[in-house]
Amino acid sequence: MVNTELADTMIIKVKPRRSEAKRVITAFLNRKLSVIGLVLIALFILTAIFAPWLAPHDPYQINMGEAMMTPGSQHLLGTDTLGRDTLSRIIYGSRTSLMIGVLSVILGAFVGMSLGLVAGYFGGWVNLVIMRFIDALMCMPPLLNALIISVVLGGGILNVVLALAVGIMPGQARLMCAQTLTVKQNDYITYGRAMGAVDLRMLLRHILPNAFPPLLVAITIDLGMCVLLEGALSFLGVGIAPPTIAWGSMINNGYPYLLTNWEMAIMPGFALMLVIFGFNMTGDGLRDAFDPRLR
Amino acid sequence: MISFIIRRLISALVVLLILTLIIFCVVRVLPGDPVDLYISRAEVTQLSPEQVDLIRHEFGLDKPVYIQYLDWLGNVVKGDLGKSYFLQEKVTTVIGERLPITMYLGIISILISCILGVTFGVICAVRRGKRIDDFLSVLANIGLTSPTFWVGIILIYLLSLKLHWLPAFGYTSPLDNFGLSTKQLVMPVFCLSITAVAVLTRQTRSSMLEVLRLDYMRTAYSKGLSERTVVIKHSLKNAFIPIITTIGMQVRNMFGGVVLIETVFNIPGMGRLMIDGVLGQDFMIVQGGILIIGMCILLVNLIVDISYGWFDPRIRYN
């Protein structure tokens, strides 16, 4: 009798096991700002997908008769120097911005993580050669690297993606290298080696997944960074070439007309800022959710 | 310590060599021919193909790329960065005019960012969860995500065009007209500092929070030290290593920021020079500029590394 009671209390005391993924998701959703960030990103993705239905006008339609209109009932945010509707152009611009952000982070993270993984895992002179190269790229601000590459390649979408990938690649490589060095210390890696696992299997099955959480955070933050860098390049006139719509070049085009049509330069910036805010807050939320010390 | 500095200087030199080699190879791929550029700026209108070849030879552009790199490197050691194709001036002269402007702008911005960022971060950490913490944290998040060039345009619109408080753009040396120079500096310095202040606030807050919950904090309080002493001497000094690392990173990023800010505010500094050089296919300017910027950044990194030992005497340099 007494024994069963004791057993019952013990059963109640033991918490049900929760999976790590579930814990991370709950921790993430408990933070208001990260949810706001995620919702913002979701909204922008929906805007990009449904741009043709959302935009009130054709964003490419030149209409000199309606050029430089201030906001009104017909054009909510006014028109640009060629009479194109600013709101529609901002809506379509989300396509360029998100697509370039995602593509350049995929490319930059893939190359950077591969280099970091190889450098950290093999060590020795491989590490030395790769990391000196990364160090050299790291001692320039990402914007300057991206700027030079972008001008060398010219202003197509793929070239800008390549330029931005070069901009974020060194950071990813250095982080991955440090992570690999840490994970490599674990006994299960030595054990795996003793079992005769080949290098590629060790890298992909054991080191990469265990080094991944901080990299996921870095990838999310880098998404925001790439959107920002793309805006900066387009603003400097070396990013996306017209007629592709980019928020940065919209700001650049509107800049000379601040006095009469301030919306032209300032409105696209809000969209740019909100996207970056969304990615950064999501990244912050992920970092906190993954952090074992905050449990 | 001395041997540490020497070893770090050597590795910085290696990094600089790799960097210049990368840039050297990359700019050779730039579209367009610098000789055409040179000719278009020269007084002469008609040149025979032989004369063009002569100019090409004069610049050493007819040699293989690796010879050109070694030639350039040899001249760099002698303190000669070559001659700009476009500006028809020595690169050292041009950079000598532009770099002080960017340095002036950058140093003021870094100082302001450090003071404000660290102060805000300490306030947030000490008053964690209070209203002031929430307020400053939100401000930091906004600062972190706003594109600086866009903030600059908003400021120009509000403060110059609408309120007429500040001149919209331009640069005057503080030695010529201190009042005007300061007025012109307010907006660029503000824009350059936004990101750094935001990043430093967040970094200081989180590394202070790490330290504040350690046992020796309670000891310090319980032996009757004032809050001021505990916060500044016991926690801030111990929390400072990640902060100083962040400051180093921000100095690097500021060289990217000036490219945008000098464009928005039309300031003739290094950033403007770099973008003009890249757009104008001016190899010599780009190479020289990257070399000088790289040197500045590596020097800051070295100072950051050395200062670790001062903040944490447990760190040994060997």
Nearest Cα residue in chain B from A238: B279
> What's the pLDDT tens digit per position in B224-269?
888 888 888 888 888 888 899 899 999 999 998 999 999 999 899 9
Task: Considering only the beta carbons, identify the residue of B19, B153, B297 that sits closest to A265.
Answer: B153
What is the Cα–Cα distance from A127 to A132, expressed in whole angstroms?
8
The DSSP result for B8-67, as a single string, is: HHHHHHHHHHHHHHHHHHHHHTSSS-HHHHHHHHSS-----HHHHHHHHHHTTTTS-HHH
Residue window 115-134, chain B: list those with CB within 8 Å of chain A.
none
The mean predicted confidence, pLDDT, of chain B is 84
The maximal CA–CA distance of chain B, rounded, in angstroms, is 87
The DSSP result for chain B, as a single string, is: -HHHHHHHHHHHHHHHHHHHHHHHHHHHTSSS-HHHHHHHHSS-----HHHHHHHHHHTTTTS-HHHHHHHHHHHHHTT---B-TTT-SBHHHHHHHHHHHHHHHHHHHHHHHHHHHHHHHHHHHHTTTSHHHHHHHHHHHHHHHS-HHHHHHHHIIIIIIIS--S-SS----TTT-HHHHHHHHHHHHHHHHHHHHHHHHHHHHHHHHHHHTSHHHHHHHHTT--HHHIIIIIIIHHHHHHHHHHHHHHHHHHHHHHHHHHHHTT--SHHHHHHHHHHTT-HHHHHHHHHHHHHHHHHHHHHHHHHHHHH-TT----
**pTM value surpassing 0.90:** no
Instruction: Match 């300017």 to its residue by tokens.
Output: B285
Task: Considering only the beta carbons, identify the residue of B22, B161, B256 that sits closest to A143.
Answer: B256
Which pLDDT score, from 0 to 100, does residue A107 have?
Answer: 95
Contact B237, B118 (CB under 8 A): no
Q: B71 or B148, which is more confident?
A: B148
> Taking residues A157-165, what's their average pLDDT?
91
CB-based contact, B175 to chain A, within 8 Å = no
Q: How many CA atoms lie within 13 A of A239 on its CB side?
A: 29
What is the Cα–Cα distance from B164 to A8, expressed in whole angstroms?
77
Structure tokens at B142: 């906004």
Which pLDDT score, from 0 to 100, does residue B225 have?
Answer: 82
What are the extents of the domains in chain A? 31-57+79-294
Task: Considering only the beta carbons, identify the residue of B142, B260, B290 that sits closest to A232.
Answer: B260
Residue B23 has pLDDT above 80, yes or no: yes
Question: pLDDT class for A8, splitting at 50, 70, 90?
Answer: low
CB-based contact, A44 to chain B, within 8 Å = no
CB-based contact, A265 to chain B, within 8 Å = yes
Q: Do B255 and A238 touch (CB under 8 A)?
A: no
Q: Which of A1-5, A223-227, B52-56 has the lowest mean pLDDT?
A: A1-5
Which pLDDT score, from 0 to 100, does residue A33 have?
Answer: 83
Structure tokens at B98: 């532009």
Q: A161 or A14, which is more confident?
A: A161
> What's the pLDDT tens digit per position in B267-283?
999 999 998 888 887 87
Residue B89 has pLDDT above 90, yes or no: no
What is the Cα–Cα distance from B70 to B289, expressed in whole angstroms?
18
Among A210-214, B30-34, B233-237, the range of highest mean pLDDT: B233-237
**Percent of chain A scored above 70 by pLDDT?**
92
Residue A1 has pLDDT above 50, yes or no: no
Which pLDDT score, from 0 to 100, does residue B197 have?
Answer: 94
Which pLDDT score, from 0 to 100, does residue B270 have?
Answer: 92
From residue B74, give the alpha-carbon distance in Å to each of B80, B176, B289: 9, 38, 17
CB-based contact, B288 to chain A, within 8 Å = no
The mean predicted confidence, pLDDT, of chain A is 83
Q: Do A228 and B147 touch (CB under 8 A)?
A: yes
From residue B219, give the alpha-carbon distance in Å to each of A100, B213, B307: 53, 11, 27
Nearest of B280, B212, B204 to residue B247 by alpha carbon: B204
Q: Do A280 and B260 touch (CB under 8 A)?
A: no
Residue window 8-27, chain B: list those with CB within 8 Å of chain A.
14-16, 18-19, 22-23, 26-27
Partnered with residue A196 across adjacent β-strands are none
Q: B225 or B55, which is more confident?
A: B225
Nearest Cα residue in chain B from A268: B150
Compute φ and ψ for A199, nearest 5 degrees.
Answer: -55, -45
> What's the pLDDT tens digit per position in B184-212?
889 999 999 999 999 999 999 988 888 88
What architecture is the A31-57+79-294 domain classified under in CATH? Orthogonal Bundle (1.10)
Residues of A in contact with B294 (CB under 8 A): 139-140
Residue window 229-258, chain B: list those with CB within 8 Å of chain A.
252-257
Which pLDDT score, from 0 to 100, does residue A77 have?
Answer: 77
Question: Which residues, other chains included, contact B55 with Cβ-Cβ below 8 Å and sequence gap of 6+?
Answer: B35, B38, B39, B47
Residue A150, SS3? helix
Which pLDDT score, from 0 to 100, does residue B193 have?
Answer: 93
Among A10-19, A204-213, A261-270, B163-172, the range of highest mean pLDDT: A261-270
Question: pLDDT class for B111, splitting at 50, 70, 90?
Answer: very high
Q: A188 or B14, which is more confident?
A: B14
> Taking residues B69-98, what's their average pLDDT?
82
Question: pLDDT class for A80, splitting at 50, 70, 90?
Answer: confident
Q: B89 or A251, which is more confident?
A: A251
Task: Considering only the beta carbons, identify the residue of B19, B30, B256 that sits closest to A141.
Answer: B256
Residues of B in contact with A273 (CB under 8 A): 145-147, 150
Question: pLDDT class for A16, splitting at 50, 70, 90?
Answer: low
Residue window 21-80, chain B: list those with CB within 8 Å of chain A.
22-23, 26-27, 29-31
